[in-house]
């Protein structure tokens, strides 16, 4: 991020140029990721053909399947075939499912995005007010409780929280389902009821993270001269906190929320497993365990693009939140 150049929302042309430049600069990153993932997968021990054939298959069976999967060719030729398909917009076909990787990813996108969105909304709605209040009552009981909660949120493994919530809300009270995912097309009710527990589980750690960062950033802002000026003007404490302290602390908070979203997209594996949500996390784990190379490559490329886009959005949000920032 550079400050002092002319790209801002007041100057659309410069902003468009900035966005275009940023998007183009992601190409080398994606190319590097593609090569790296391709090579690392081929160099990892394991053979998808052996798993496909099963325990009772013979060496000849494995060899036959390797051939049919195109794994017998040299690494450069395999890479060129894959890149050729990529350039045509084809992520390839799963070794197992005889389905295109694009279709598999599309099927898994909705559950993961839903879970990530609900989690981040829950985390922000709870964490930001908590963080602001803790900063306003620095050293008080709320502040100490928040710090204690943060330690808990970071320390307790997600699967422990998940199983505890399942035990209480699904098995004991019978309010919510244990597992699965209700697609939005089948109604908001089933969608929400299947997501409440996983989102609560997953949001705990993000709530802790965002609340801590909010508390720190607002605490720092509260020591600034303009806060003293605002109080001297006779503004209410609420106005001082919301309009001056929080607004000026927004950049680090937005940064951590953005990073949180990016981490969530790729980091929902455990939650998806505990709650049997058929999302991208489970797809990735299954693909890695079964060495389904085209699927792993496709998902990692997707994650790379998501990371790049989220970083870009974070950078753009800085301009909105802080008028002093120019690109």
Minimum CB distance to other proteins, residue 263 (Å)? 22
- Per-residue binding letters, 60-79, with other proteins (x by CB under 8 A): xxx-xx-xx-----------
Which residue, 102, 211, 105, 193, is CA-closest to 150? 211
The C-alpha atoms of residue 164 and residue 157 are separated, in whole angstroms, by 11
Does 266 sit near other proteins (CB under 8 A)?
A: no
Half-sphere exposure of 90 (CA within 13 A, CB side): 11
Does 46 sit near other proteins (CB under 8 A)?
A: yes
Candidate segments 59-67, 79-87, 146-154, 301-309, binder of other proteins by CB under 8 A = 59-67
CA 198, chain centre distance (Å) = 15
User: Which 3 state secondary structure label does DSSP give 100?
Assistant: strand
| Nearer Cβ to other proteins (154/167) | 167
Main-chain dihedrals φ then ψ at residue 11, nearest 5 degrees:
-125, 80
Does 135 sit near other proteins (CB under 8 A)?
A: no
Minimum CB distance to other proteins, residue 315 (Å)? 35
Candidate segments 34-42, 124-132, 146-154, 174-182, binder of other proteins by CB under 8 A = 174-182
Any idea what the Cα angle at residue 189 is, between residues 184 and 191, rounded to 5°? Answer: 40
Q: Which residues pair with 93 in a beta bridge?
A: 100
User: Which 3 state secondary structure label does DSSP give 93?
Assistant: strand
Residues that bind other proteins (CB under 8 A): 45-48, 50-62, 64-65, 67-68, 94, 96-99, 104, 107-108, 163, 166, 170-171, 174-180, 182, 186-190, 192-194, 273-276, 278, 282-283, 286, 289-291
């Amino acid at each position: 991020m550079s400050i002092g150049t002319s790209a801002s929302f007041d100057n659309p042309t410069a902003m468009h140029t900035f966005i275009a430049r940023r998007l183009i600069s992601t190409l080398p990153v994606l190319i590097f990721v593609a090569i790296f993932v391709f090579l690392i997968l081929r160099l990892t021990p394991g053979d998808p053909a052996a798993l496909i054939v099963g325990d009772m298959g013979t060496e000849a069976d494995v060899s036959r399947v390797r051939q049919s999967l195109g794994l017998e060719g040299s690494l450069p030729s395999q890479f060129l075939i894959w890149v050729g398909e990529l350039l045509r917009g084809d992520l390839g076909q799963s070794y197992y499912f005889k389905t295109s990787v694009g279709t598999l990813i599309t099927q898994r996108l909705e559950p993961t995005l839903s879970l990530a969105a609900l989690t981040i909304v829950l985390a922000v709605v709870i964490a930001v007010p908590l963080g602001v209040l803790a900063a306003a009552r620095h050293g008080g009981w709320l502040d100490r409780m928040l710090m204690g909660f943060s330690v808990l949120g970071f320390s307790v493994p997600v699967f422990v929280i998940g199983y505890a919530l399942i035990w209480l809300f699904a098995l004991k009270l019978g309010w919510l389902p244990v597992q699965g995912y209700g697609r939005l097309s089948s109604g908001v009710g089933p969608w929400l009821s299947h997501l409440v527990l996983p989102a609560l589980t997953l949001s705990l750690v993000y709530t802790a993270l965002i609340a801590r960062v909010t508390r720190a950033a607002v605490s720092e802002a509260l020591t600034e001269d303009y806060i003293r000026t605002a109080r001297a003007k006779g503004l209410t404490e609420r106005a001082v906190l919301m309009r001056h302290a929080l607004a000026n602390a927004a950049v680090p908070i937005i940064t951590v929320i953005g990073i949180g979203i990016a981490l969530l997209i790729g980091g929902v594996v455990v939650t998806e497993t505990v709650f049997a949500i058929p999302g991208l996390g489970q797809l990735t784990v299954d693909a890695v365990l079964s060495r389904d190379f085209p699927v792993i490559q496709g998902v990692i490329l997707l994650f790379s693009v998501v990371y790049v886009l989220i970083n870009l959005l974070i950078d753009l949000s800085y301009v909105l939140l802080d008028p002093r920032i120019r690109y």
